[in-house]
């Protein structure tokens, strides 16, 4: 497997372990408790990630993979991405350096059953892992697809990296909720 993709697989495993640890031992009530009226609950953070995976990231990665295969874009790297995509990746990492308002289309419902959200999240992690495997041998810098941001096309490798950074960002956010002194233990 391409070294960059192996790194992404390792990141995905770490994300999965962090998420499972954060969600363990919670009731639905604790999982859905907002620390403040204008802040998301842990449930909203994870459900947001599920919505983004379903509507933005996995379809975009699929499109870039399909495009690369159709065009015969193959390479083992190393890969370099445009400065704007590297910058966007940098600001997507936790802790947030720049805050964005999530579009309504990716807002989560306020109440989410923990078991359902966890199951869906882990399913999306499996799907991400499949896509990373499907990208092996493809030119991660030349394969592109429309990004969730209007007018941009992201390179396949950057698309995957940004999706993983986005997950880490919201897992960091969920960890802040759980670390709040007012957070119910169960």
pLDDT digits (tens, 9 = 90+) for 80-113: 999 999 998 999 999 988 777 776 666 777 778 9
What whole-number percentage of the chain has pLDDT above 90? Answer: 80
Task: List beta partners, residue 146.
Answer: 153
- Residue that the structure tokens 């599920």 belong to: 50
State the pLDDT at residue 109. 72
Task: Show me where the domains of the chain are located.
Answer: 3-179
Query: 3-179 — its CATH code?
Result: 1.20.120.450
pLDDT confidence tier of residue 51, bands split at 50, 70 and 90:
very high
For the chain, state the CA radius of gyration: 17
Q: Model's pTM, two decimal places?
A: 0.93
Separation CA 74–CA 92 (nearest Å): 28
Degrees to nearest 5, angle at CA 42 with 108 and 106: 20
Across 19-43, average pLDDT: 94
Strands 144-146, 153-155: parallel, antiparallel or unpaired by DSSP? Answer: antiparallel
Count of residues in the chain: 186
Q: pLDDT at position 103, please?
A: 64
pLDDT at 111: 79
User: E strands of 125-176, at which residues?
Assistant: 144-146, 153-155
Q: Is the peptide bond before 78 cis (omega within 30 degrees of 0)?
A: yes
Q: Which of 67-76, 97-106, 110-119 has the highest mean pLDDT?
A: 67-76
**Beta-carbon neighbour count of residue 144 at 10 Å?**
21
Position of tokens 């802790």? 95
Confirm if 66 and 143 have CB atoms less than 8 A apart. no
> Torsion-angle region of residue 70: left (phi > 0), alpha (psi -120 to 50) or beta?
alpha
pLDDT at position 148 is: 74
């Amino acid at each position: 497997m391409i070294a960059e993709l192996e790194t992404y697989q390792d990141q995905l495993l770490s994300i999965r372990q962090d998420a499972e640890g954060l969600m363990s031992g919670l009731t639905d009530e604790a999982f859905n408790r907002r620390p403040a009226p204008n802040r998301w609950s842990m449930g909203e953070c994870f459900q947001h990630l599920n919505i983004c995976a379903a509507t933005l990231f996995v379809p975009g990665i699929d499109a870039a993979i399909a495009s690369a295969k159709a065009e015969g874009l193959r390479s083992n790297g190393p890969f370099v991405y445009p400065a704007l995509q590297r910058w966007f990746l940098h600001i997507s990492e936790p802790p947030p350096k720049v805050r964005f308002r999530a579009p309504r289309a990716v807002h989560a419902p306020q109440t989410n059953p923990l078991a359902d959200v966890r199951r869906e999240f882990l399913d999306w992690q499996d799907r991400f892992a499949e896509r990373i495997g499907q990208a092996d041998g493809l030119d991660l810098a030349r394969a592109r697809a429309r990004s969730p941001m209007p007018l941009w096309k992201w390179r396949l490798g950057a698309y995957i990296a940004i999706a993983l950074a986005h997950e880490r960002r919201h897992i960091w956010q969920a960890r802040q909720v759980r670390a709040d002194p007012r957070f119910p233990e169960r």
